[in-house]
């Protein structure tokens, strides 16, 4: 009986979890169907903003405001969030008529927002409202009204769950729409996320390459005897072969050396240009490191040359697979 009772309780708890998520899925579907031209108007207005996007909410909506603000800032739209309660104690001074103010409130009649709305009107600050009631003060006062649908909350219908999910989702939708309109790319994203696992994923060939005297350059007319000294000295397992103009004409690897020695017993006085790979794989410095590693695995190679802009023959750095694997894993 104890085992049965424990299993029944566990199943009941699981069902509660599914019910909460079901309500939020329904809320998001309603939100998706509610998106109209006002969403596009909001995006266009924010795109034209020459200052900052300031986001404010009360209670749980205030927490959502902080998250939306952080997302906007990370994808190229300068933003910060402020506390609705602090606004009545001096923080309103942080908002100017060059900014765009976004207020978030499910009911739209929260008392803490009254002074903020009044301040926005008096100072001609453009106001975007994220709200669910057309009869609310926030809806009527907003220049652009992002109406989110009325939803069923979990926890006796009173705990902010489905409503905060829709608020967060509309904020994310704004952020991504703005990102794409600004053509904010992965390399731009990398500038704001230099550290951690995300920063590693966004590292480029230019971030990881060896440069200057660490590049194992040899002239194409170099004899193997001297070229092998460079190979042993640099300890990278390959040589970058260049002509007298300093342009890349090939690559010579440990594997090429092994194949050569199987064919010829004496190699010291042979010129390296006769045995190099004349079509080495090269990458532009802004290529993502993850893409470089993928291509190296696909081509079954352990090293690449890096170039800048469109000058593929001018090697500015080299990458060995070990450095890529260590960084990305």
Query: pLDDT by residue (tens digit) across 95-113?
Result: 999 999 999 999 999 888 8
**C-alpha dist (Å) from residue 240 to 46, 153, 199, 224:** 49, 64, 29, 13
% pLDDT > 90, the chain: 62
Query: pLDDT by residue (tens digit) across 209-232?
Result: 999 999 999 999 999 999 999 999
**Equal fold, 2-184 vs 205-328:** no
User: Left if phi > 0, otherwise alpha if psi is -120 to 50, otherwise beta: which for 94?
Assistant: alpha
Strands 248-253 vs 53-57: parallel, antiparallel or unpaired:
unpaired
Rounded CA gap, 142 and 165, in Å?
A: 22
Rounded CA gap, 31 and 147, in Å?
A: 9
Averaged pLDDT score across all residues of the chain: 89
Angle at 167 between CA 165 and CA 169, to 5 degrees: 70
pLDDT at 1: 43
- Which H/E stretch holds residue 163? helix 162-181
How many residues are there in the chain? 329
Query: pLDDT by residue (tens digit) across 54-94?
Result: 999 988 999 999 999 999 988 889 999 998 888 877 788 88
Cβ burial, residue 276 (10 Å; 0-12/13-18/19+): buried
Rounded CA gap, 307 and 285, in Å?
A: 6
Quickly list DSSP for 122-136: HTT-EEEEEES-TTS
User: Domain spanning 2-184 has what CATH number?
Assistant: 3.40.50.10490
Nearest to 103 by CA among 155, 163, 56, 158: 56
pLDDT at 97: 92
SS3 33: helix
What are the boundaries of each domain within the chain? 2-184, 205-328
* Fold of the domain spanning 205-328: CBS-domain (3.10.580)
Q: Give the global pTM.
A: 0.68
pLDDT at 189 over 70: no
SS3 204: strand
Rounded CA gap, 252 and 241, in Å?
A: 7
Q: Determine the average pLDDT of the residues in 126-147.
A: 96
Work out the pLDDT band at 169, boundaries 50, 70, 90.
very high
Work out the pLDDT band at 3, boundaries 50, 70, 90.
low
pLDDT at 204: 87
pLDDT at 2 over 80: no
% pLDDT > 70, the chain: 92
- Which H/E stretch holds residue 217? strand 217-219
Q: Determine the average pLDDT of the residues in 257-270.
A: 86
Query: pLDDT by residue (tens digit) across 138-159?
Result: 999 999 999 999 999 998 888 9
pLDDT at 195: 59
């Amino acid at each position: 009986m104890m085992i049965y009772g424990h299993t029944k309780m566990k199943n009941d708890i699981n069902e509660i979890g599914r019910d909460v998520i079901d309500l939020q899925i329904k809320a998001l579907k309603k939100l998706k169907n509610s998106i109209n031209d006002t969403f596009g108007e909001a995006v266009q207005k924010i795109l034209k903003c020459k200052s900052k996007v300031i986001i404010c909410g009360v209670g749980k909506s205030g927490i959502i405001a902080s998250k939306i603000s952080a997302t906007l800032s990370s994808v190229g739209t300068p933003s910060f969030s402020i506390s609705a309660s602090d606004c009545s104690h001096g923080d309103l001074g942080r908002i100017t008529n060059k900014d765009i103010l976004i207020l978030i409130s499910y009911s739209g009649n929260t008392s803490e927002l009254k002074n903020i709305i009044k301040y926005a009107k008096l100072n001609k600050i453009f106001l975007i409202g994220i709200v669910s009631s057309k009869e609310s003060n926030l809806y009527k006062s907003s220049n652009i009204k992002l109406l989110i649908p009325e939803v069923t909350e979990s926890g006796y219908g009173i705990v902010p769950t489905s409503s905060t999910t829709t608020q967060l989702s509309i904020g994310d939708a704004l952020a991504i729409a703005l990102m794409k309109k600004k053509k904010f790319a992965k390399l731009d994203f990398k500038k704001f996320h230099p550290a951690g696992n995300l920063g590693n994923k966004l590292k480029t060939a230019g971030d990881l390459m060896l440069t200057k005297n660490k590049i194992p350059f040899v002239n194409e007319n170099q004899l193997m005897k001297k070229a092998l000294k460079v190979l042993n000295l640099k300890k990278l397992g390959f040589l970058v072969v260049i002509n007298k103009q300093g342009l890349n004409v090939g690559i010579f690897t440990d594997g090429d050396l092994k194949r050569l020695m199987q064919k010829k017993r004496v190699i010291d006085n042979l010129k390296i240009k006769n045995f190099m790979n004349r079509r080495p794989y090269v990458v532009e410095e802004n290529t993502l490191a993850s893409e470089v590693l993928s291509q190296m695995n696909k081509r079954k190679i352990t090293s690449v040359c890096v170039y800048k802009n469109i000058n593929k023959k001018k090697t500015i750095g080299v990458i060995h697979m070990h450095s890529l694997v260590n960084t990305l894993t």
